[in-house]
Amino acid sequence: MLSIHVKTIPGNGLRARHPRRERAFTLVELLVVIGIIAVLMAILLPVLGKAREASHRSVCGSNLRTLGQAMVMYANQHRDLLPNASPNGVWKASVGGEALIPFATTFVAHPGVFHCPSDTDPVPRLIATADYNVPDSAHVSYEFYSIFWAPEYGPRLPQLKGQAPLAWDLDGGEQQSPLQNHASKGGNVLFADGHVEWQERSLWDGGNWAHPAEQFFPNLNPP
């Protein structure tokens, strides 16, 4: 900041103006300020990170609830059955998952609902596939319970009694996976009664198998 010092010049009555500089910060003072800023950042960044993740979990849960509402509409038009394109005797999710494409097109208003905001993958512009690790996929962020079943066993929505998981964050039960949305902390799980809850990693039935999926899955050994 500059201040103006006014000085009278003898003999002509005029005043000369001379700029005078305020004292600058010393190096020690600058280092102290930088140190304080660094401490504040170290305190605030983890707090901001937690707040951001909490916001992401909330949006993720909302996405899963929306998918759950779409599944109810799907089941109402398909004799209580949930999306599954497998023929009888086939237990492969890669085959059953093909039903997710028409499910998304007909019953889900926006493809972004399939994307968790904590997922670093791009938001799908449309749902064109159900493959993993590819763009515009129904599997960009979430897994779907029904596609693992052989269709002669269902699943039908009423048989799941509101307690079975319908969809969840991919690999939420894994120790470490590139498909995880929330690192190894766990994931959101959508249940057949429409509610969504956070499930810690230690509670999952398996790496990509939310609890209590095992309890409702047919008790047999698929090939």
Residue type, 105: T
Taking residues 41-48, report their average pLDDT.
Answer: 72
165-193 residue pLDDT tens: 999 999 999 999 999 999 999 999 999 99
Amino acid, res. 148: F
Beta strands in the chain (DSSP E): 2-8, 15-21, 142-144, 165-169, 186-191, 196-200
Q: Would you say the pTM of this structure is higher than 0.85?
A: no
User: In the predicted model, what is the mean pLDDT of residues 154-172?
Assistant: 95
41-78 CB burial, b ≥16 within 10 A, e <16: eeeeeeeeeeeebeebbeebbebbbbbbebbeebbeee
Q: What is the pLDDT of residues 53-83, one digit of tens each?
A: 889 999 999 999 999 999 999 999 999 999 9
